[in-house]
Chain A
Amino acid sequence: MSDRPAISVDETYLEGIEKKVEDLKMIMEVSVIISSTLDFNELVTVVMEKAKKVMDAEACSILFYNKDTNKLEFEVALCKEESASEILKKTVTLDIGQGIAGWVAENLQPLVITDVKADKRFYQAADKQTGFVTKSIIAVPLVGRSGLIGVAEIINPKNKDFFSEYDSGIFQTLCRGVAIAIENARFHKESIEREKLRQELEIASSIQRSFLPESPTFHKNNITVSAINISAKHVGGDIYDFIEPSEDKVGVFIGDVSGKGISAALYMAKIISDLRYTSLGIDSPDVVMKRLNSNLSNAPRGMFLTATYIIADTVKGSLSIAVAGHPPFFLIGKGEVRVMDLPSGPPLGIMPVEYPVTMLELDKGDRILLLTDGAFDAKNKNGERIGFDSIARFVKSQSNRESLIQAVVDHVNDFSKGTERADDLTLVELRFDGAV
């Protein structure tokens, strides 16, 4: 015989313990589900099915908070009648503060209601539309790191008349996990979408590059032109092109479309096609600019293009130049570097105007350096902009370099080391080697 005293255990107490163990097991199972899937739809449905089963409830639902409309919308509604679930999802929305879910969303506090008929907050229209009869309900706010996600509800216990505070505690524990899981799944979805967008930008960038001249250098008679174009992460809309409008002439075009991203890349593609078409057989850059300006006048969303178009006589080295709101260029020769801020019209695509033409005679060895704002708007780690004047000083200090465009690219890259390239960078160098 044992000396230990006999312990009498109440059967109800034992049943209570058993129930708690069961509930704990269920919470652990749900935690496993939550950490094992990032599939948003699967996760929410599976977890709510589980909750409904374990809490032995007739129905359960999740309403998501829509920030744009400031309303709650049914995302999941699980009940016997599938039609009721469909009606809820398609037709019922609640304002913040409206109904029990609306109250919970507004106050960010859980509610246990033993008899909804006696509660003025209850929104009867949902029951009327679905034919479902709500008796007792637990509603819990789903709150994540970024604020309110929605409201979870569990409705009508099957084995008793109403839910207890203990049931509410279990449901709240479950809902904390559900909120984290929903937030994780949303972050996962967003990161997939970000990756998709990144890939689309990469494609846009390669399409954009395919519109540029096949070779970055052009040589005819006494003129040599070379170019460098480097795309930004977000894809800018830089353009350059070499055109042969007539014998012994070369047209050198540089431009920058407003904005960034796929729209700028697509618009750049349209512009370069228009340019090639409108510049054929035309020796006057102002005429080409005027036509291009007219073509671009219906640009979507106010998009515009700054540009410089130079038509060079490849034998004599005489240039005619039209500028449309594009940054000045540099003339390097005779031991000096001049900033050429020529008479200019506004950017293309804004308003009908005449573009002034400037004539310039190059001497043997003279060089022209054209650029886009990606060169002087580049920023360093501290967010400081390099600036046009600094680029001008650099060009002056390097005027003897064989490839000025490469020197400028290296300089900009050095300056902005450790940062993401925010804008396209395009440089075009035109050299006149003198009459043979």
Chain B
Amino acid sequence: MKLEITDCKGIKMIALSGEVDMYTSPELREEMMNLIRRRTSPLFVDFSGVSYIDSSGIATFVEGLKGIMSYNGKLKLVGIPDRIMEIFNFSKLDRVFEMYGSIDDALNSLNSF
């Protein structure tokens, strides 16, 4: 897994690639929880380079989501590849997370009520 934190038009974004699993998710957790401790919102996560995610990886995002919701913040997952989307859909996690096809879609969602 590769992880990069970038600024996308003033919004913090975690860009992920590779496998997000029980071995790599601790690094993701540390970086994401650091941003959440600073009450970052909205927080975008770019999934476009992710090739695999297991339940440990998903649990990391559940923890992140719960943390962000505690201060009414927003976590937005963007660019989820089809194979990863199947995993989210299969577990009905598409009802849990806010998901957008592209960064622009996620940005537009900030302007609409």
Q: What is A's interface to B at a CB cutoff of 8 Å? A: 234, 256, 258-261, 301-304, 306, 324-327, 344-347, 349-351, 388
Contact = CB atoms under 8 A, between A and B. Distances in A.
B62 interface: yes
Contacts of A325: 91-93
B61 interface: yes
Classify the interface of chain A: helix, strand, loop or mixed: loop
A304 B62 contact: yes
A73 to B, nearest CB: 23
Given A325-B91, A346-B91, A346-B96, 4 more contacts: A302-B61, A326-B91, A347-B93, A349-B62
Interface of B: 22, 29, 55-56, 58-66, 90-93, 95-96
Pairs of residues from A and B, 9 with the lowest C-beta to C-beta distance, nearest first: A302-B63, A302-B62, A258-B55, A302-B59, A325-B91, A258-B59, A325-B92, A259-B56, A346-B92
Q: Which residue, A261, A324, A351, has most C-beta atoms of chain B within 10 A?
A: A351
A421 B19 CA distance: 19
A259 B95 contact: no
A345 B61 CA distance: 18
Nearest to B91: A325
Nearest to B66: A302
Contacts of B22: 234, 259-261
Nearest to A353: B95
Nearest to B26: A301
Contacts of A258: 55-56, 58-59, 62
Nearest to B86: A388
B62 A350 contact: yes
B37 to A, nearest CB: 15
Contacts of B92: 324-325, 344-347
Contacts of B60: 301-302
A260 B21 CA distance: 10
A347 B56 contact: no
Contact of A301 (B59, B90, B91): B59
Contacts of A345: 92, 95
Contacts of A347: 91-93, 96
